[in-house]
Amino acid sequence: MTSEKSETDDPQCPMCPAGTLREGTTTLTMERGEATIVFKDVPADVCDTCGEAFVGENVSEEVYEQAEEAIEAGVQFDVRRYNSRPKTAV
Ligand SMILES: [Zn+2]
């Protein structure tokens, strides 16, 4: 195997050929009926060329759960900062 493509480990952007995904943050808006919960500082892979942000499955699941919780608690609109809760198995 003579592969010399180890220039960078950064994944390529699926939206544009020139873009490279880099670690960054984005803002996610969850809408559920009349409730809107905005999450800022959500960790994501952000393209350095087109600016498209890709949120991982785990993170988006967690955002979704936190939004659900807030909505269940009666929140109609909220802007909050995402913070990942460490999953401690008890
Ligand atoms: Zn891109």
Model pLDDT for residues 39-72, shown as the tens digit of each residue? 999 999 999 999 999 999 999 999 999 999 999 9
Q: Residue 50's CB: how many other CB atoms inside 10 A?
A: 12
- Distance (angstroms) between ligand 1 centre and the Cα of 16 equals 4
On whether residue 38 sits in a domain, the answer given is: yes
- pTM for the full model? 0.78
- Distance (angstroms) between ligand 1 centre and the Cα of 24 equals 14
CA distances from 90 to 4, 59, 83, 86, 87 (A): 45, 21, 20, 12, 9
On whether residue 71 sits in a domain, the answer given is: yes
On whether residue 90 sits in a domain, the answer given is: no
Total of domains in the chain? 1
- Distance (angstroms) between ligand 1 centre and the Cα of 53 equals 9
On whether residue 14 sits in a domain, the answer given is: no
- Distance (angstroms) between ligand 1 centre and the Cα of 6 equals 20
On whether residue 8 sits in a domain, the answer given is: no
Band the pLDDT of 83: cuts 50, 70, 90. confident
On whether residue 20 sits in a domain, the answer given is: no
Q: Residue 82's CB: how many other CB atoms inside 10 A?
A: 20
Find how far residue 55's CA is from the centre of its chain: 3
- Distance (angstroms) between ligand 1 centre and the Cα of 2 equals 28
